[in-house]
Chains A and B, each alone.
Chain A
Amino acid sequence: MKSVNGIIKNIIDPKLKSINARLFVTRNDGITIYDSTEDETTSSVSALVSGVWQASEALMGLVGKNNNLFDYRLGFDTSSEGIYLFSFEFDGKSYCCGAIYKDCLNPGLLKRQVMMLKSDLETIDVPFKKNKDTSKRDGFLFTDITDEEMDNLFTLGGK
């Protein structure tokens, strides 16, 4: 069984040769699913992208007439650099995919290449099946956590 992260990575990684941009996919709640430039900014990029997308969705919900929010794209750009976002649905959940680019000679082409990713992501034919043997994963992940374990966790954090 493959994870969502793995499946999406297998789709986007090969496109990086032709798309000269930072590509990423986030869940609605801002959790990173994929980032082609994984570094210390990854979590922040995901949180901001999620916020921007959700705010835009809410705004269109107030004033728009198109109920299908998967039709929308979001751009924040100059003639050579910017951000381009779209959302897609996979396995019943919605995700936001986007590109951050700079020093781009042909942003129109880049946006088209990025939008072509949408159809790739929405028609994933990689066998994606949930683990049927969930018996071992019923209930909660942790039945108990000691205070000592929590202290250890936060010691690592520098406190």
Chain B
Amino acid sequence: MSFVNYHTKEINCKIVYYGPGLGGKTTNIQYIYQKTSSNNKGQMITLNTENERTLFFDFLPLDLGEIRGFKTRFHLYTVPGQVFYEASRKLILRGVDGLVFVADSQVERMEANLESLNGLQKNLLEQGYDISKVPMVMQWNKRDLPNIVPVEDLQYQLNKLKLPAFEAVATNGTGVFETLKMISKSVLLNIKGGLE
């Protein structure tokens, strides 16, 4: 749940990057970190296993500036993608304001994409969220690889809700900021005006 402080005119929002293991969630955040000026970002936290897989979460705080007099602060999190970290994923979804689903475009990862998306829906429901009501953006990542599923198929199989979707190659930054910009806008437009 976003936190709006009307006294200090600050908005805090939590955006979670969700998706199957090795889909590029951490790479998205790392690219954002690299390309953001030091004045606008805090320390990036990564809690990894020895072989560089996300163990608990990655975290990147972004202070982007003001919009209509409100200072905006986005907290970007990734979940661990590996199937057996389900408990951690549930924890990280608590208080989420917006979601980026990072799908792996490779043919052989479609099943993992679907499993992850179904898991997301279930985990959100357990915490009282309706997936159709949480701001969410789809990202079709790894579009530079040869064995990829056509975008139309990804849309058909993974985007029944007809959410905004972006093609991406997170390793070189293609689509990364476009995705972030879209989810940020959706989150800001979804902030309830009443007191927190």
Contact = CB atoms under 8 A, between A and B. Distances in A.
A14 interface: no
Contacts, number: 132
Interface residues of A, number: 41
Given A44-B61, A47-B75, A159 B35 contact: yes
A1 to B, nearest CB: 9
Given A28-B94, A55-B88, A157 B40 contact: yes
A75 interface: no
A117 B91 CA distance: 27
Contacts of A28: 94-95
B186 to A, nearest CB: 10
Contact of A47 (B61, B64, B181, B195): B61
Interface centre among B77, B185, B194 (most CB of A within 10 A): B194
A140 B192 contact: yes
A30 interface: yes
A6 B6 CA distance: 12
Interface residues of B, number: 54
A126 to B, nearest CB: 14
A108 interface: no
Interface string A127-158: 00011001001111110110101111110111
B45 A48 contact: yes
B191 A47 contact: no
12 contacts: A6-B7, A29-B1, A29-B3, A138-B193, A138-B194, A142-B68, A142-B188, A142-B191, A153-B184, A154-B184, A156-B64, A158-B37
Given A29-B1, A152-B65, A157-B36, 7 more contacts: A29-B3, A30-B75, A47-B59, A140-B191, A157-B62, A157-B64, A157-B65
Interface of B: 1, 3-8, 11-12, 14, 35-37, 40-45, 47, 56-57, 59, 61-62, 64-65, 67-68, 70, 72-73, 75, 77, 87-88, 90-92, 94-95, 177, 180-181, 184-185, 188-195
Interface of A: 3, 5-6, 27-31, 40-44, 47-48, 51, 54-55, 58, 130-131, 134, 137-142, 144-145, 147, 149-154, 156-159
